[in-house]
A and B are shown apart, each in its own frame.
Chain A
Amino acid sequence: MLGTALTTQTTGSFFGKKRADLKKRIWQHRWLYLFILPCVIWLLVFCYYPMYGATLAFKDYSYKLGILNSPWAGLKHFRAFIYSPDFWRVIKNTLVISGLKLLFSFPAPILLALLLNEVQAVRFKRVVQTFSYLPNFVSWVVVVSLMNVIFSPYGGVINDLRKNAGLETIFFMGSREYFYPMVILSDIWKNAGWGTIIYLSALTSVSPELYEAAAIDGAGRLKSTFYVTLPCIKGTIGIMFINAVGGLLNAGFDQILLLQQPDNQLISDILDTFVLKTGLSQGRFEYATAIGLFKSVLSLVLMTLANEVSKRTMEVSIF
């Protein structure tokens, strides 16, 4: 009894001390915490507070009763989604598009960053960097409008060139076979430049001495990249990979929605566009929320798996 009491007392004092230390440290850095406060409030208000809305997935929504007071409906909206004839098609499309982006768009900024890192002319490097960042600030609406103009079968630049060369015009934006290339190429064009920022900052932390040592050992530029640069930034790549897998089911809503055409409908309908069409547009908020929740749970599972893989292969993890 006494032993237990002592242990409890010891443990209690241990945690009490730790708590006091924490408070002391918070007070010491109070100004820094004050800076964080707006972000914490933002997070609480815009990310945590709306989470109660997820209960909508289990309810029959009534305008008058609101989310909290609407009657419970069990899993009926999840069942409606899972048994809908489009379920597997939509899941497959989402995974295929996301997988292709992971395969091609994810490495693109790494490659570009490595190339930029090798450029010796500082001014040229800065110009290239600036130009590669610009597409990031152009909205998808503008990007797809530009693509429509460039690739139009009626007066588009590409098709005019084809016609002048005696070739048939092609409806690039509306043909099934060109859908995936259009998605991936436009995604790389828009996002690769901006994505290099994080890798370029990681590259600056690589010690020049390692390159010197590699050079003494006879390594050329390519070997230095493989044996020095990449291992040094693998932590950053790992973290970015985990995040990318976490967003795998997002697939790029606005891009895909804008690129949808009748002919590519079967392969371009992803979870988010499906939610818009069958849920939000028709006022089936419960159904849309159920699909959204389903997606979030699946994303969490994928992210956990990616975290495990990254932990084992790259010794990097976020939890």
Chain B
Amino acid sequence: MYKLKWTGRAMALGLATTLMLAGCSSGSSAATSTAGDNQTTAAAGEASTIDGSTATDTQKYDDVKLKMLICWNGGFKTASDQYNNEVAQAIRDKIGVTVEYEGIMMSETEKLNLVFASGDMPDMINAPYWGGDGGETAVIKKAAREGQLLDIKDELPKYANLSDAYDVGIVSQAFLENDLDDPTFGGARYILPQETPGDVADITNWAYGVFVRGDVADTLGIDPTTIKTTDQLLDFMTKARDYGFKDVNGNDIITATTFHEGWDYGQYAMNFNSKQATSFVKQDDGTYTYNTLTDNWIDSNLFIWKLVNEGILDKECFKQSDDLANQKVGNGTALFAAAQYSTVINATKLTGLYDSNPEMRYVPVGPLNYADGEASVQVELKGRNGSPAIIFPTSNQNLEASLAYLDYVNSEEGARLCQYGIEGDTYEMNSEGQPRLLQSILERKQNGDTTVDDELREKGIGYILGRTLQADKRMTWWGERGAGDADVAITELVAYQEARPVEQLAGYPIDKLAQSFEDYDTLKTYAFDDTTKNDYTQRAFFADTEDEARSILEDYQDYLTSQEGGLFQKYLDYANEVAKTRDDVIN
């Protein structure tokens, strides 16, 4: 009898252990949910703010600690101690809130799914919210619809430096109607759009393009700024390939490369593009079709096939890491590189290429023209049409404190603290009343001393604003976007930004208009899925013959139009129908 009891107890113990472990997870999610519910009903009305972008007069919290997930693949560098540093201390002294940031090293969509599926959510998340068919957008919208996010609609107006987040001009009308105020949200607002431009001058010019090692252009006697078309570029690259250049170590060269995962090989084919803000193309008869279904799309990809097939474009570039790309560019192994100009320049800083071999300085090619001969620009819509976004999961411990923190760092005073640190210690005000880094720091930056950024970061300087500024007004406020930009600006980068400027297009983008298509959710699972598209296009790049490459690309067009009983054609028909309802539609 005793033995039986013992066995029974052992089994019961085992079962209890299993259930306890099982219970732990559901228990924690229940607790999270409760906390979230409390937050939803908590009043935030006590905080008062003053108008404008000066210091905000908020209530001071009692040492509230919050966590923000920076859901951007590639990690997020912060001070090693995010609580005990000058900036965190100063913010705490002002509003009593400290936010600790955590980056990720995986796909953004995957991470967001993991966060919401597991219930292991931080207080705030900053993630891409490009709107429309973006994978991250779909996850955030699903989380919002399923009650995983807090509604901030009634809270935002209470915070002067955040209250204009939904203003048309800061965000576009289309972004507002279709994504920020998604009809399925039922009137609630879950998204705080971030990194929106305060003014036209505040729009970031990413300076995308093709760049070539300076000595290559000199040796071949070609002025790279005269390269405007595909044929000219191909001729230039072919001559460079055949000349017999060596890299900084005397090794064989790669004619052209990109950065991670083929980013951004499309720059080589820029001459096939036209000035447009969406993936739709206006045809001669006035109707719209999808770019991927056109012959031009096939031709532009066949050009990349040609570059690969003729040994010009780096065969490894579609699967390579940024580290490998940095080596290739930093050692001058790649004669041409396509990406943002700053990325190329940064790669050379890692190796000190310009110090040892100043003649190898990468210079811009072109910029290449559009297909119609017009000079290419960086196209933007009036107001952002998609942006990074800050969202507040139901696990948020203190929504008021979260918004008070964001409001403060969005004030001129808070932003100055985050960007420049403490006055007298790291910056001083110039005669125009603008903050400027101390001369000693600027000199170190000018001399290429990269440790100065690490030292500033340890003080809490230089990383907070990138993921918390709602409307970026730094150019308007201080005449420079980054600390030291005005004094140590890279002249060739500035010149290139002027050569390929930002241009805002006015109008309502057709892809946003067509988002109301009734089967849009079904359509986007396959039609806007870049993974499948990349599988086909990159496979085409490695085809043995041009015919084979063309056939693979046509297969993708067939795939797109044949799925779900030809749903894509119905989508196109719908897009053309709704395009007639407005006279300001743009593609």
Whether B316 contacts A154 by the Cβ 8 Å rule is: yes
Q: How many residues of chain A are within 8 Å of chain B by beta carbon?
A: 39
- Cα(A49)–Cα(B531), bound, Å: 33
Interface residues of B in 1-15 (CB under 8 A from A): 3-4, 6-7, 14
Which chain B positions have C-beta within 8 A of A135? Answer: none
- Cα(A171)–Cα(B254), bound, Å: 13
Which chain B positions have C-beta within 8 A of A153? Answer: 315-316
Whether B18 contacts A45 by the Cβ 8 Å rule is: yes
Quick one: given A49-B21, A174-B542, A265-B538, are A64 and B107 in contact (CB under 8 Å)? no
User: Within 8 Å of chain A (Cβ to Cβ): is B165?
Assistant: no
Interface residues of A in 238-257 (CB under 8 A from B): none
Which chain A positions have C-beta within 8 A of B315? Answer: 153, 171, 174
User: Within 8 Å of chain A (Cβ to Cβ): is B468?
Assistant: no
Partner of B252, one of A64, A154, A262: A154
User: Within 8 Å of chain A (Cβ to Cβ): is B444?
Assistant: no
Which chain B positions have C-beta within 8 A of A282? Answer: 109, 135, 525, 529, 531
Interface residues of A in 1-39 (CB under 8 A from B): 23-24, 26-27, 37
Whether A27 contacts B3 by the Cβ 8 Å rule is: yes
User: Within 8 Å of chain B (Cβ to Cβ): is A103?
Assistant: no
User: Within 8 Å of chain B (Cβ to Cβ): is A71?
Assistant: no
Whether B116 contacts A23 by the Cβ 8 Å rule is: no
Whether A263 contacts B542 by the Cβ 8 Å rule is: yes
| Chain A 162-177 interface mask (CB, 8 Å, partner B; 1/0) | 0000000001011000
| Chain A 101-145 interface mask (CB, 8 Å, partner B; 1/0) | 000000000000000000000000000000000000000000000
User: Within 8 Å of chain A (Cβ to Cβ): is B117?
Assistant: yes
A198 → chain B, closest Cβ, in Å?
Answer: 31
- Cα(A163)–Cα(B82), bound, Å: 52
User: Within 8 Å of chain A (Cβ to Cβ): is B188?
Assistant: no
Partner of B113, one of A45, A260, A261, A285: A285
Quick one: given A23-B7, A154-B333, A282-B529, are A41 and B17 in contact (CB under 8 Å)? yes
User: Within 8 Å of chain A (Cβ to Cβ): is B314?
Assistant: yes
- Cα(A171)–Cα(B333), bound, Å: 17
Q: How many residues of chain B are within 8 Å of chain A by beta carbon?
A: 45
B119 → chain A, closest Cβ, in Å?
Answer: 8
User: Within 8 Å of chain A (Cβ to Cβ): is B319?
Assistant: yes
B351 → chain A, closest Cβ, in Å?
Answer: 15
User: Within 8 Å of chain B (Cβ to Cβ): is A40?
Assistant: yes
Which chain A positions have C-beta within 8 A of B113? Answer: 280, 283, 285
Which chain A positions have C-beta within 8 A of B328? Answer: 154
Whether A263 contacts B539 by the Cβ 8 Å rule is: yes
Which chain B positions have C-beta within 8 A of A148? Answer: 316
Quick one: given A174-B315, A283-B113, A283-B138, are A40 and B21 in contact (CB under 8 Å)? no
Which chain A positions have C-beta within 8 A of B148? Answer: 63-64
Partner of B539, one of A23, A61, A265: A265
User: Within 8 Å of chain B (Cβ to Cβ): is A155?
Assistant: yes
Interface residues of A in 42-83 (CB under 8 A from B): 44-45, 49, 61-66
- Cα(A160)–Cα(B142), bound, Å: 52
- Cα(A152)–Cα(B317), bound, Å: 12
Partner of A281, one of B7, B109, B525: B109
- Cα(A272)–Cα(B120), bound, Å: 25
User: Within 8 Å of chain B (Cβ to Cβ): is A85?
Assistant: yes
Whether B531 contacts A261 by the Cβ 8 Å rule is: no
Which chain B positions have C-beta within 8 A of A171? Answer: 315-316
Whether A283 contacts B109 by the Cβ 8 Å rule is: yes
- Cα(A40)–Cα(B555), bound, Å: 52
- Cα(A264)–Cα(B148), bound, Å: 40
- Cα(A282)–Cα(B114), bound, Å: 11
Pairs A-B, 6 closest by C-beta atoms: A262-B538, A263-B542, A283-B113, A64-B146, A63-B116, A171-B315
Q: A261-B319, A282-B135 are in contact. List 6 more A-B contacts (CB 8 A).
A: A23-B4, A24-B3, A26-B7, A262-B535, A263-B542, A265-B538
30 A-B residue pairs with CB within 8 Å? A23-B4, A24-B3, A41-B14, A41-B17, A44-B14, A45-B18, A62-B146, A63-B116, A63-B117, A66-B26, A85-B559, A155-B252, A171-B315, A174-B315, A174-B316, A260-B319, A261-B318, A261-B319, A262-B319, A262-B535, A262-B539, A265-B538, A266-B539, A280-B113, A281-B109, A281-B110, A283-B109, A283-B112, A283-B139, A285-B113
